Chains A and B, each alone.
Chain A
Amino acid sequence: MTDILADTMPRQQAAAALTPGIHMTDAANKRLKARYASERRFKMIGLSAILFSLTALAILMFTIASNGFTAFRQTHVRLDLQLSAEQIAPAGTTDVRKIMQGNYGAIILDALQKKFPDVQSRGERRRLQALVSAGAESQIGRMIVADPSLIGQTISVWLPTSSDIDMFVKRQVDTTAPEEERRVKDSQVRWLDSLKASGDLDLQFNLRFFTGADSREPELVGVWGGVVGSFYTLLVTLLVAFPLGIMAAIYLEEFAPKNHWTELIEVNINNLAAVPSIVYGLLGLAVFIGFFGMPRSAPFVGGLVLALMSLPVMIIASRAALRAVPPSIRQAALGLGASPLQVVLHHVLPLAMPGILTGTIIAMAHALGETAPLLMIGMVAFIVDIPTTPVDAATVLPVQIFMWADSSERGFVEKTSAAIIVLLVFLLLMNLAAILLRKKFERRW
């Protein structure tokens, strides 16, 4: 080629042909550089978008964890309580009401004063008493109800401290602030130091947080009431939404003719999946509570509302799972003489079940975290009892979190975060179950 050029063209022209073309001029090189730079920039923007999201997730998790993990341990103080008969009830009494009315505040104060005999003034005594949680009194009462023979004895028990003290000991508040700005005063700090030195002050595992229900005192709250309420609510949701969702999906995917009616149903389901959850709360309030007169604050009603909310999601997931079963299975079963219903029940549904269950678990996980519709049907009531049936007044875990987050006391920040940790653990377990299920039953046809 070059030989031909050299032969046919004058030398100058040949030289010109060898000089860089328009793609190799300085301007072009600059352009190329700029294009590569913009390529790198674009890639970096994409990477930083992902990093931003992951950082936000990390900060969220870190904030919750660092605020919440301290709640799993609670400051306790050991006191030698003199359970004298005259302050409680005559020995041998088993009358619960009488025992619970005992003057336990005085007993606790006596025990505290025995440790710090130099405390005299009324204000100082009140501060001394404020070391121990207000709930300690009923705790002692319950102890004696369980074992009335304790009356008249002197026992050594660990009692929870009040939230202020708890926060101070855990350094959740500014411990170096001047005394006027602290809720824990200098004299109390002195007592705490001496209690700690004698081994009577300790951080213990906060069993009450996992076994108790709501309370006005942050040091006494527990998540068990919310967990049980959530359990009943989700149970109702599952019992209602799961069969309905499967049946609707089977009809739409396997039997439904293509007409206006089924098209309407399909469009409807897709739209329902995107209706704001609070609207379902309005529906529950107007229909279940207003029209049918069902009780407020009951997991049964909450479960129904959440069932209606998660039904479209379950139908969509179940339909996808049914669609993934190859037609050859159906044809084979039909060829052997099975009726259409038998084809579905004996062959298609079992094969689609893992997919349906995965979708169901994910929908249930969403229902577990849902708060807004439950606010509407009155599940924000302050409830200190653990519900025993689905029609008892109850609260659920996310609503409990919402209520604690609303409380101004410093101690509730810790408990809210801890309750969030509990909720996230449940969600994690559910999602893990869904992933494992998917992995285990994943198949290629």
Chain B
Amino acid sequence: MSLPLLLLVLLGLTVVGYYLGKSRALSAAGGKIRNLHSLPMFYGWYVVVWCGLPALLLFGTWIAFEDALVRNLVISELPESIRRLPTDQLGLVISDIRNMAYGNIPVDKADANLRPVVEHYISLRQLGTSALWVIVLALGISGLVYGRSRITSDFRARNRVERAANVLLIVSSTIAVLTTVGIVLSLVFEALRFFHAVNPLEFLFGLTWSPQTAIRADQVGSSGAFGAVPLFVGTLLIAAIAMLVAVPIGLMAAVYMAEYSGPKVRAWTKPALEVLAGIPTVVYGFFAALTVAPFIRTAGESIGLEVASQSALAAGLVMGIMIIPFVSSLSDDVINAVPQSLRDGSYGLGATKSETIKRVILPAALPGIAASVILAFSRALGETMIVVMAAGLAANITANPLAAVTTVTVHIASLLVGDQEFDSPKTLAAFALGLVLFIVTLSLNIVALRIVKKYREQYD
């Protein structure tokens, strides 16, 4: 009685519907296709749409809301003493009940007064599943019958099917909007819960970050401080180091590829640089932690500098290498888009190649280059794995690249990895950090897109 099986049954039903619709259309036309308004397959598809779509919609809605529904029903069954518990403890009880119902925890170990609730939970789930089977199949069959009954020889099946297909296309293109809505809603909701516990001003401007909240009331010194400034500073420091590496190197590489190298060299170097962009970030993180960080540490110590074992420099350097192709690829396109007439004009006035590049091409390509730099910067802000593996967790406010710093993404990851309850400020802080990250990177992207758009208008 499992749900995948139901989907398979529904699929079989639609296949049956297809052939029923097709044969009905053929018989309505007396076996001659030219008597039909549309090709026979469209009549088949028409029945499929009626048979499959409403049932699938119901199925999807059920999957989405079954859990919340059953949960609420179960909560209303719970003894008053449990129902009064704070939300996080109630959540634990619910997950216990669920685990018992699925047999992950033996029921006999549980509280005696929970046993009826567990049974209630199981019976609700079973009832729900059987109801779903009945309703989905009923919808499917009645849709099939209805769709088939409407078929006549001059029925405009193609137009109907195409309209349905059009709706399907529109729906899938709105998934992107729904994703954005989902991101914004989930971040905002959880962040709002966080801001109930922590003052937003303290979060944005506070100077200490130590999210360890006290588990017991008598614990001292771990009250939890959520001033995110050290994280912002660390993020900016590492991103700045990365940009210091990536922008000059990426730009010069782009200039060389676009202006100096022959087509053969270019055919090899461009994909080779793009390999850098295709390497998973976890590999860069491993490389930074295993090779670059110890190297910087020994190099620094040999000239008498004090270097943290997880320095901002190591993470930033490797991140910069990762970002080079983002800068170089985009800049390369932009430089190539500069009209040849500008170059010829400059050469005609006696300028050398480098003078032409510096005085004519780069200024002409500047908006596009700026956009690529901004995109690369937003990429550096959002990068997670390199900094998780190479930058550490120490929340310092410092501009010293040799010190250990931490970033927003590191803390999002570290706050949520492992089994956490969803209601402490500690876990919710991750969503607030995520919201900040989302807003910042999104605005950077919008700025970059604006610049590109403006730039395009000048040359097209």
Binding site for B on A (CB under 8 A): 35-36, 38-39, 41-43, 45-50, 52-54, 56-57, 59-60, 63-64, 67, 243-244, 247-248, 250-252, 255-256, 262, 264-265, 267-272, 274-283, 285-287, 290-293, 308, 311-312, 315, 339-341, 365-366, 368-372, 375-376, 378, 380, 398-399, 401-402, 405-406, 413, 416-417, 420, 423-424, 427, 431
Contact = CB atoms under 8 A, between A and B. Distances in A.
Given A49-B256, A371-B281, A274 B379 contact: yes
Contacts of B252: 45-46, 48-50
Given A43-B260, A282-B187, A371-B282, A293 B416 contact: no
Contact of A248 (B71, B176, B378, B379): B176
B272 A251 contact: no
Contacts of A244: 172, 175
Interface string B217-260: 00000000000000000000000000000001111110111011
Interface in B166-215: 166, 168-170, 172-177, 179-180, 182-183, 186-187, 189-190
A172 B441 CA distance: 43
B1 interface: no
B59 interface: no
B278 A277 contact: no
Contacts of B449: 267, 270-271
B257 A248 contact: no
B360 interface: no
A53 B354 contact: no
Given A53-B321, A53-B325, A340-B162, 15 more contacts: A35-B355, A38-B354, A56-B321, A59-B291, A60-B284, A252-B173, A256-B173, A268-B176, A268-B180, A270-B449, A274-B445, A341-B166, A402-B385, A405-B289, A417-B286
Contacts of A256: 173
Contacts of B434: 278-279, 282
Nearest to B159: A339
A272 B383 CA distance: 15
Contact of B290 (A67, A369, A402): A67
Nearest to B184: A283
List 8 tightest A-B contacts by C-beta distance, closest first. Answer: A276-B382, A369-B280, A46-B256, A286-B186, A293-B67, A49-B252, A251-B169, A42-B354
Nearest to A40: B354
B285 interface: yes
A252 B422 CA distance: 39
B236 to A, nearest CB: 15
A293 B442 CA distance: 29
Contacts of A42: 353-354, 357-358
Given A53-B253, A60-B279, A287 B182 contact: yes
Nearest to B186: A286
A370 B280 contact: yes
B282 A248 contact: no
A348 B118 CA distance: 56
Contact of A372 (B384, B422, B438): B384
B78 interface: no
B382 A277 contact: yes
B413 interface: yes
Interface in B30-89: 63-64, 67-68, 71
B421 to A, nearest CB: 11
Given A256-B173, A371-B282, A52 B182 contact: no
B389 to A, nearest CB: 6
Contacts of A285: 416
Contacts of B283: 60, 64, 369, 401, 420, 423-424
B441 A413 contact: no
Contacts of A276: 378-379, 381-384, 409, 437-438, 441
A350 to B, nearest CB: 17
A237 to B, nearest CB: 14
B269 interface: yes
A365 B186 CA distance: 27
A49 B166 contact: no
Greatest chain A CB density within 10 A among B165, B173, B358, B446 is at B173
Contacts of A402: 282, 285, 385, 388-389
A101 B55 CA distance: 52
B438 A279 contact: yes
Contacts, number: 256
B167 to A, nearest CB: 10
Contacts of A248: 169, 172-173, 175-176
Contacts of A370: 280
Nearest to A365: B278
A279 B282 contact: no
Nearest to A379: B417
B430 interface: yes
Contacts of B175: 244, 248, 311
Contacts of A252: 173
A253 to B, nearest CB: 10
B273 interface: yes
Contact of A424 (B279, B290, B291, B325): B279
A278 B437 contact: yes
Given A53-B253, A64-B287, A401-B286, A339 B162 contact: yes
A39 B281 CA distance: 37
A256 to B, nearest CB: 7
Interface string B412-435: 110011110010000000110010
A285 to B, nearest CB: 7
Greatest chain B CB density within 10 A among A60, A248, A251, A290 is at A60
Contacts of A431: 278
Given A264-B177, A275-B438, A405-B285, A371 B280 contact: yes
B158 interface: yes
A321 to B, nearest CB: 16
Greatest chain A CB density within 10 A among B175, B177, B273, B438 is at B175
A255 B171 CA distance: 13
Given A35-B355, A50-B257, A311-B175, A371 B385 contact: yes
A376 B257 CA distance: 39
A368 B283 CA distance: 12
B324 interface: yes
Contact of A271 (B251, B259, B413, B442): B442
Given A265-B174, A275-B441, A371-B281, A53 B431 contact: no
B269 A369 contact: no
